[in-house]
Amino acid sequence: MKRNFCLLILLASIIFTACQKDQSDGFDKTGLNIPKGDRAILDFIADVEAFKDTMQIRGPLAFQKDGEDVEVTGYFHRDDAMLIKAKLSNRELWHYLQGNNVVLLKEITADLPDSSAFTERQFFYNESSLLDQRMRSAPSLDSLQNSTFVAMTIDSTDTRANPSAVTGRAMSYMYGY
């Protein structure tokens, strides 16, 4: 009887230990510490991309927003959105988030009507301001990755200059409001 009780306790311990969620998945970037500067943001983005396959994927969700077809996919680590990708008719928007704030907006557009050229724009943010912006162009998506970034400027009234507006748009894409 005592032996059966000990085996039962041992079995319960093994099951309990096995059911415990391993928190050491190698990716713990969900805090509120926003990376400071382009290099730190790019390092953070590299981490998101490296662990993207281990994240929970929500989507793709398809809907219309402001009369335009939108397809959205969200990548989540635990309950935090890390990347929200929105595909629209002539552009893709990649919103990389840290602590529910967009830290990098990557916008890839196809020059219409024949899509013979592509442009990528990147916007770097902290909690309250646009830190930097740059762009690159190429005749194809494949060659875009090898093209060189150049500095660019946008008007302060452009919504991409406002981190709160960019974060709000990303959340509206993901959650449909």
Mean pLDDT of 61-74: 89
Query: What CA–CA distance (Å, rounded) separates 150 from 134?
Result: 6
| From 24-28, 73-77, 156-160, the region with the lowest mean pLDDT | 24-28
Q: Does residue 21 register a pLDDT over 60?
A: no
Domain for residue 170, yes or no?
Answer: yes
Domain for residue 76, yes or no?
Answer: yes
Quick: pLDDT tens for 75-94: 999 889 999 999 998 899 99
The number of domains in the chain is 1
pLDDT, mean over the chain: 81
Higher pLDDT, 29 or 18: 29
Domain for residue 17, yes or no?
Answer: no
The pLDDT value given to residue 113: 60
One-letter amino acid for residue 5 of the chain: F
The CA distances from residue 111 to 57, 114, 122, 151, in Å, are 29, 7, 17, 19
Domain for residue 69, yes or no?
Answer: yes
Q: What is the domain extent for residue 159?
A: 29-175
Domain for residue 19, yes or no?
Answer: no
